[in-house]
Structure 1
Amino acid sequence: MGETENALRVSDFLLELYHDASECTPDVLRLRVLKNLQRFIPFDFGVWGGGWADGRLVTDLTVLNQSEAILGEWASVAREDAFCDLTLNRLGATARFDDVPDYRTSLAYNEHWRRFDASHMMATIVGEKTDGYVSFVGLCADDRPMTFSDTERMFKQLLMPHLSQALRMNRELWTGRAAIGHEAVGLIDGEGWVLCVHGPFHDFTANEWGARVAQLPAHVMSALKRGRRWRGQMLDMRLSPFGRNYFVHLSIHPILSSLSPREREVARLFASGMTTKQVARALGTSPSTVRNQIVHIYEKLGISSKAQLATLAGGK
């Protein structure tokens, strides 16, 4: 009966998880899930966030029953934290403080985690679709007689794919809801890392910068935060706050929207100062094909010179 009751409780937890993923904003979803996890695993506070693995930079964070400074101040010991080393080297596996030899004598444990009453921690890091971006869920406790058990560790590890998938679905749902008309929309964190996209987001950014982007360029992010809008050679972009993150809305300049994706790519390169031969070489086609495409571009836009194209494409 005990095993049956546990199975039913887990089933109810997963049903609630995916229901909340369809109804709640990402921040609310993460808080609700952490609270619900306390029904299964005794812990005092929890963290659920994401960031850039190589730089150990946390850019997206939700915290239950603790100050957000817990990971803001962690940056000072991040490079020396052997527990972080372990979890990054074992993506998808759940680890505990006591899995690291002599961890309780380390600088990271004594100078950081103990200051925040984390005498025990159990964490899992998973890789996300954006290259180099990871998500993590950590459960921390102080008032426990012993470390998290193997049963608790395995339970959390089995749940982690569901937590990651539910958050991914949740972000995709809200990003789709934010889209208007022919816009492409991306959900980004405060540093410009792309968490989720809807519509031809990657096609639009490739037209603007020549390649798909995992993070918006710093100068674009700075301009968006200052004025909520940015205009490039091909794109109009606007920013709207969404909880701790932002939606970035992308649209092709209205006057350029009549061009096909290939024509916009040719227009971007030609307007940037390239010759027809250079454009052809960049796109792997012939100069005569590029010349014909430029003729069609001029006809569609009602212009007759490269200078006019540069003015339209640059928004000057």
Structure 2
Amino acid sequence: MSRLDPLGLLQAFSTLALDLQRLAQHQDLEHFQYHALRRLSQLLAFDSAWWGRAAVIDGLPEEHSSYLHHLPPGYLADWQSIRHLDVTVAQVHAKPGQAVIIDMRDPANGTALNWLGQRHGLGELLCVIHIDPQTHLSDHLTLYRTPGAPRFSAHDCLLLNNLMLHLVAAVSANQIRTLVAMRETLTSPRNLALAVCDPRGVLQCAERGFIDLLLSEWPRWSGPTLPVPLDEHGHDGKRIHIQVSAVGDHLLLAARINRALPQLSPRENDVAQGFGEGKTYKEVARDLGLSPNTVRHHIRTIYTKLGVKDKARIAHLMHAPPD
């Protein structure tokens, strides 16, 4: 593709950027990066890749999520064992957004990187990072070519520099689409605020309501790491409940206020929750297996106990987060 004339290259680049956005809208979170890299390889050739997100701690990157493309699972552990000797780290962090080319076979780049390249059959790498100005997390993409393959060029660097912004945006769009799709599968979706985090609890994407809910439970929290570790059991706190679902190497989080009001009986709380979600008498009755008359009796009791006169006030008391 590097032989294209400037106009042809611009058209190919624009088409790729559009295709990345289409993939973000149609691929699930678990497979998006695979398809995005396959599409990228049509414009910028490579044999394998490593796409991830990290935070710099004590001068070294701590990986929060990684996708290895045509690389064995053990590659990440091997790299972590020599990361303090990897010259790539200092070079890309010195100039975020500027891709660097590193020959993994060159003795000048250190025996550790030489060993990693030889162990995994890698020749050159092309790496670029993008640092989020708010979280300071870095998205990084490293493309590899095998020994004997054509060498990366300044043209490839320029191409990756500009593509990386589109790749980061596409990942974000894919996560948001996943949240929207997940909402439709959940019970009472209007009362949920959703987010995506990595296995270490670092938020990757979150609805505004999710942050508000965290702050209601932990007023001093500032992120981007969740205030408590989460697993498949989620979290049941004083003010909020968080449901956790695993998708690939990410966690999808669904948070809601713990809405049980102590002055109501368990059945009255169920009825109040239904009205707080905007349901009709018939819908609440159907969902709870009650007759509409029984629901009307419960709602009259709820009005008396809570001192309210309409369903809108019930919704407010139940603390349903906005859509």
Q: Structure 2 length as normaliser, TM-score? A: 0.72
1:215 aligned residue? 225
2:241 aligned residue? 236
Shift of 1:144: 3.6
Distance 2:260 2:37 in 1: 48
- C-alpha contact 2:244 2:252 (8 A) present in aligned 1: yes
Q: Secondary structure at the match of 2:190?
A: coil
Distance 2:114 2:129 in 1: 22
Q: 1:66 aligned to 2:71? A: yes
Counterpart AA for 1:135: D
Shift of 1:20: 0.8
For the structure 1 residues 250 and 103, does the alpha-carbon distance in structure 2 shift closer, same or farther, using more than 3 Å as the test?
farther
Q: Secondary structure at the match of 1:114?
A: helix
- C-alpha contact 1:83 1:103 (8 A) present in aligned 2: no
Q: How does 1:162-177 map to 2 (within 5 A)?
A: 162-177=166-181
- C-alpha contact 1:206 1:213 (8 A) present in aligned 2: no
Q: Secondary structure at the match of 2:170?
A: helix
Counterpart AA for 1:215: T
Among 27, 30, 33, the residue aligned to 1:30: 33
| Identical residues among aligned pairs (%) | 18
Shift of 1:65: 1.4
Among 253, 256, 269, the residue aligned to 2:258: 253
- C-alpha contact 1:50 1:61 (8 A) present in aligned 2: yes
Among 156, 170, 173, the residue aligned to 1:152: 156
2:284 aligned residue? none
2:124 aligned residue? 120
Structure 2 gap segments, 5+ residues each: 184-188, 264-304, 308-323
Q: State which drifts further: 229-238 or 183-192.
A: 229-238
Q: 1:132 aligned to 2:142? A: no
2:90 aligned residue? 85
Q: Secondary structure at the match of 1:174?
A: helix
Shift of 1:141: 0.8
- C-alpha contact 1:175 1:186 (8 A) present in aligned 2: yes
Distance 2:132 2:240 in 1: 27
Shift of 1:172: 1.5
Q: Secondary structure at the match of 1:216?
A: coil
Distance 2:193 2:208 in 1: 5
Distance 1:65 1:37 in 2: 14
Q: Structure 1 length as normaliser, TM-score? A: 0.73
Shift of 1:124: 0.8
Q: Which runs of 4+ in 1 moved over 4 A?
A: 102-105
Shift of 1:199: 4.0
Structure 1 gap segments, 5+ residues each: 259-298, 302-316
Q: Which has the higher helix share?
A: 1
Counterpart AA for 2:223: V
Counterpart AA for 2:211: H
Counterpart AA for 2:141: V
1:287 aligned residue? none
Distance 2:92 2:261 in 1: 47
Task: Compute the RMSD of aligned alpha carbons.
Answer: 2.6
